[in-house]
Amino acid sequence: MQPASVVNTAIGRYVDTGTIATSDPTITCGFKPRYVKVVNLTATTGLVMVEWYEGMTAGTALKTDINGTMTVIATLGITVAADGFLIGKDLDLLVTSEQLSWLALG
């Protein structure tokens, strides 16, 4: 693990093309994230955001909806890998043809 003063940062976008039925989207950022934030700004239900912090269990996340309601989800959240992360198939966040913006810090 790197010291807290060394931070890798990666940002990007992901647009679902109908592949979510078969696999979780994998984002490669080149390092193991310690924090991940994924936001769907185009969701038909309004803004949806999930965050994963180092120490959380794989597949979990802190989910925030347009009303500011926060919930810890135990499945379909973020799973961190050695060089990126997987986005779980939370149906509010990951919607066919909608765009996700993401930030990973490591």
Q: Is there a domain that residue 1 lies in?
A: no
Please state the length of the chain: 106
| pTM (two decimals) | 0.88
Split into its structural domains, the chain has a count of 1
**pLDDT tens digits, one per residue of 40-83:** 988 777 889 999 999 999 999 999 998 889 999 999 999 999 99
Q: Is there a domain that residue 4 lies in?
A: no
**pLDDT tens digits, one per residue of 6-31:** 689 999 999 877 666 567 789 999 99
Q: Is there a domain that residue 51 lies in?
A: yes
Residue 2: pLDDT over 70: no
Q: Of 5, 85, 97, nearest to 38 (Cα)?
A: 85
Q: Is there a domain that residue 65 lies in?
A: yes
- Which CB contacts under 8 angstroms, 24+ apart, belong to 28-32? 28/83, 28/84, 29/83, 29/84, 29/85, 29/104, 29/106, 30/83, 30/84, 31/83, 31/104, 31/106, 32/80, 32/81, 32/82, 32/83, 32/106
Q: Is there a domain that residue 30 lies in?
A: yes
